[in-house]
Amino acid sequence: MKQQSPEEIEEARRIMSCKDFIPLPVRFLLFLFIIIVFQFSGGVYMSAVTQMAGSLSWINEDIMMAGYASLVGLTVAFPFLFRIMFRFTARDILLVVTAVLTVGDWICMVCDNVPVVVTVSFISGFFKMVGTFICWSQIQLNITPTRDFAVFFPFLFTFILGCVQLSNLATGYCIDIYDWQTMHLFTILALILTFLTVYFCLRSHFRQGPYIPFKNIDYLGCMLWSGFLLSLVFVFVYGEYFDWLDSKVICGVILFSGLLLGVCLYKSYNDQNPYIHYDTFRQNGMVPIFILFGCMTLMSSTSGSLQNIFTGAILGFSTRHSIDLNWGTFFGVLFGAAFCYLGLVKWRTRIKIIVFNGFFFFFLYQLLMYFLIDASVEKSMLYLPMFFKGAGLCIVYTVLTYALAVGVPFKFYFEAMCVIGFIRTSFGNPMSGAIVTRMYNYIKAENMATLSGEIDAMHPMTDAFSSVYAELNRQVVMVTLKEVYGYAVILGLMILVAIILSDYRRFTIPANIIDRKISYIRKTVKAIYRDIQKVMFGKFDS
């Protein structure tokens, strides 16, 4: 990327996209406000799953599918970001983004058609990413004039992950006081205010870089990769509902996703300007970062799949009390961002050590929850593990994204962010959630059979069978939760040991190996094709 002169940097720090009557300190705060509004929008709110399902007569999987579709849209936007920024002015982009998000939130609030809501959520996620990127690009030089990612990423993820927790808190409080639609109304009003702010406060002809037209863009590749990711999300979200491979629907979608993946990889290798170049997959550090993000999603899935069962079925928490726990995660995110800043900027700690600390906080969350599985646990005792979870989440997100930024050339950086987003924000969370849920259901069935073996006609409380069954079910749930959290603790310990023993700098795939493998596959396919021609049409050729 072209280095800017000190004069250009000083001009950029003044955020020239704003009109002259806006004071310089207010310009920075103005874009932070727009970022926060964008983070609160983008389709359905997965923290309102139960209320939306009851109101719309949907199943929980429908809302989860729409929520993950928004994250898929956010992921596939990365390769387009710079092209959009250099094609349109910042004011036009933000006006369109705000309008799309406003319409998207309104449709998700009033529509009861699942495919429509999923499609709108996907589009909203795409434009949410575009608007957020444009805002950050406007104020990046105010945060770090030297474009130091070690300074920028902790600041960025403080807002991104912090807004996720605040959005969950706001949604929960709206549900507790009014209903789930109230959150959409507040967001729509904030987006209208944002639209007016952008319209009156930003210059109409300011472009942040040179004009670059929309040419040589692989739109078909974007649609194919999007279809592949949405297919995988469908499999992991609806797998338990359709009974996995016993369902023709799941088997068909798996085959379809495999076909899409094959076509996507073929285009990546053979097209001149593909949506994702095949060189992106073999960049330095891509393999270990992808694996570590997968481990992170697997470890954090227990907080979504198991923690709600514990607080609801065992502790009997209401929506308000369950949502309050997000405050612990929020302050953990702030601590994690500060820890990353000190580690990367002040202490100059190795990336491997910071990654280890991030996963260690995750491990502490799993360990504390293992010992807290009990019906007598108080609400205040759960804030500490939630704090550890938020700290671990922020540290791992920040430091792995920083490692990707310093290890991948700028030419492939946004495509690499898209690929990492496959596991980080696309199918990683539903896949991990499906694994944990499947394990929980299997262990629960075994524990139910074991613990209910002594209940027969001679049991002293057989006459009050409903009371016996309620207590049995409560004990089964607690035993199952403790067992699954125990497996999570073991997995966390194995990941920590693996991080200590590994060296992320050696996890690269040499280019010549990939080229030899692909060349061998192509030669083999051609040979098989020639043999088939000889067998089927040989007599006609003669």
The pLDDT value recorded for residue 521 is: 56
pLDDT at 503 over 80: no
Is 196 exposed, middle or buried (CB count within 10 Å of its CB: 0-12, 13-18, 19+)? exposed
Which residues on adjacent β-strands are paired with residue 18? 202
Q: Which two tokens stand for residue 177?
A: 């006081």
pLDDT tens-digit readout, 350-388: 888 999 999 999 999 999 999 998 888 888 899 999 999
For the ranges 144-153, 158-167, 450-459, 475-484, which has the lowest average pLDDT? 450-459
Sequence-separated (6 or more) residues with CB below 8 Å from residue 427: 68, 229, 232, 233, 236
Characterise 540 by phi-psi region: left (phi > 0), alpha (psi -120 to 50), beta (else).
alpha
Q: Residue 357's closest CA among 334, 382, 387, 388?
A: 388
Cβ contact 106:184 at 8 Å: yes
Q: Which residue do the tokens 């474009």 mark?
A: 147
For 208-246, the three-class secondary structure string (H helix, E strand, C coil) is CCCCCCCCCCCHHHHHHHHHHHHHHHHHHHHCCCCCHHH
SS3 of 409, please?
coil
For 237-298, the three-class secondary structure string (H helix, E strand, C coil) is HHCCCCCHHHCHHHHHHHHHHHHHHHHHHHHHHHCCCCCCCHHHHHCCCHHHHHHHHHHHHH
Which residues on adjacent β-strands are paired with residue 410? none
Q: Which residue do the tokens 């719309």 mark?
A: 56
With b for 16 or more beta-carbon neighbours within 10 A and e for fewer, the 257-277 pattern comes to beebbebbbebbeeeeebbbb
pLDDT at 131 over 90: yes
SS3 of 18, please?
strand
The C-alpha atoms of residue 114 and residue 12 are separated, in whole angstroms, by: 44
SS3 of 414, please?
helix
The C-alpha atoms of residue 361 and residue 256 are separated, in whole angstroms, by: 38
For the ranges 51-65, 332-346, 349-363, which has the lowest average pLDDT? 51-65
Can you list the positions of beta strands (E) in 45-183?
A: none
The pLDDT value recorded for residue 389 is: 93
Query: How many beta carbons lie within 10 A of that of residue 61, not counting itself?
Result: 19
pLDDT tens-digit readout, 22-47: 888 889 999 999 999 999 988 888 88
The C-alpha atoms of residue 418 and residue 293 are separated, in whole angstroms, by: 13
Sequence-separated (6 or more) residues with CB below 8 Å from residue 183: 45, 48, 170, 171, 174, 175
Query: How many beta carbons lie within 10 A of that of residue 23, not counting itself?
Result: 11
For the ranges 82-96, 301-315, 373-387, which has the lowest average pLDDT? 301-315
The C-alpha atoms of residue 542 and residue 538 are separated, in whole angstroms, by: 6
pLDDT at 63 over 50: yes
SS3 of 364, please?
helix
Length of the chain in residues, anyone? 542
Please report which confidence band the pLDDT of residue 322 belongs to, taking 50, 70 and 90 as the band edges.
confident
Rg (CA), the chain: 25
Cβ contact 157:337 at 8 Å: yes
Q: Which two tokens stand for residue 221?
A: 């590749």
Q: Which two tokens stand for residue 122?
A: 């996907």
> Which one-letter amino acid corresponds to residue 198?
V
Angle at CA of residue 468, ends 466 and 469, nearest 5°: 65
pLDDT at 504 over 60: no
The C-alpha atoms of residue 483 and residue 402 are separated, in whole angstroms, by: 35
User: C-alpha 308: how far from its chain's center?
Assistant: 19
The pLDDT value recorded for residue 540 is: 40
pLDDT at 78 over 60: yes
The C-alpha atoms of residue 61 and residue 76 are separated, in whole angstroms, by: 22
User: C-alpha 456: how far from its chain's center?
Assistant: 48
For residue 160, give Cα distances in angstroms to 31, 133, 279, 294, 388. 14, 11, 29, 19, 18
pLDDT tens-digit readout, 185-197: 999 999 999 999 9
Of residues 291 and 49, more confidence is placed in: 291
The pLDDT value recorded for residue 541 is: 41
> Which one-letter amino acid corresponds to residue 247?
S
Mean pLDDT of 409-416: 88
The C-alpha atoms of residue 140 and residue 126 are separated, in whole angstroms, by: 21
pLDDT at 511 over 50: no
Q: Residue 202: phi, psi to the nearest 5?
A: -110, 150
Q: Which two tokens stand for residue 452?
A: 């209910």
Q: Residue 18: phi, psi to the nearest 5?
A: -85, 150
For residue 426, give Cα distances in angstroms to 68, 72, 290, 487. 7, 5, 13, 24
